[in-house]
Amino acid sequence: MKIDSPKEPILFKQIRTGYLNQPFTIYKFRSMRSLGAVKTDNGTHYNWVGEVPDDFVFKSSNEATKLSKIGYFVRKFSLDELPQLWNVLKGDMSFIGPRPEIPAITKHYSTNQMARLLTKPGISGWAQANGRSEMNHGQKIEFDLYYVENCSLRLDLFILLLTIKCVLSGKGSV
């Protein structure tokens, strides 16, 4: 990452919404060419009436063009998530759970959508093991609520195995 853009920091930090709607700072390896190309929730305003729409998809269509060469590889195999082990050690996240969302989105959650915040966010989750970034918000919420309602060591181990398979294949990542 320092080779692609030597003046930029290696780590990307962003505020996310965690357990019980509490904000925390998430850490990731930077994968974009420059910080100027990285979207943050500063100034991002969603003008939804009511809750976050089911058909909402967070990733932009041109996001892949902003990735550095190293960043593409790092994202494809989810290596950008490794610094989140620090979030796990700090207690902000767990290994398995719903992925943390940015506050600009969670502030629009309905009561039903808010239920996904009843467990710690995870580095990987049921939604990621079933499609990574190939799903819309409604599908992600369904998977996350299933996890919250059925959380168990057995399910966590199953998600871990599916996550390893997804990461090694690189399917649905970029």
pTM of the full structure: 0.84
CA torsion sign for 103, 25, 63, 171 is: negative
| CB count in 10 Å sphere of residue 34 | 13
pLDDT of residue 120: 97
Residue 170: pLDDT over 60: yes
Residue 37: pLDDT over 50: no
CA-to-CA distance for 50 and 48, rounded, in angstroms?
6
pLDDT of residue 16: 96
CA-to-CA distance for 113 and 15, rounded, in angstroms?
19
- The model's pLDDT over 41-87, given as tens digits with 9 standing for 90+, comes to 444 677 787 788 888 887 655 555 677 788 888 888 888 999 999 99
Q: Return the closest-CA partner of residue 103 out of 50, 161, 32, 25.
A: 25
The length of the chain is: 174
For residues 2-20, give the mean pLDDT.
87
pLDDT of residue 139: 93
- The model's pLDDT over 138-151, given as tens digits with 9 standing for 90+, comes to 999 999 999 999 99
CA-to-CA distance for 110 and 30, rounded, in angstroms?
31
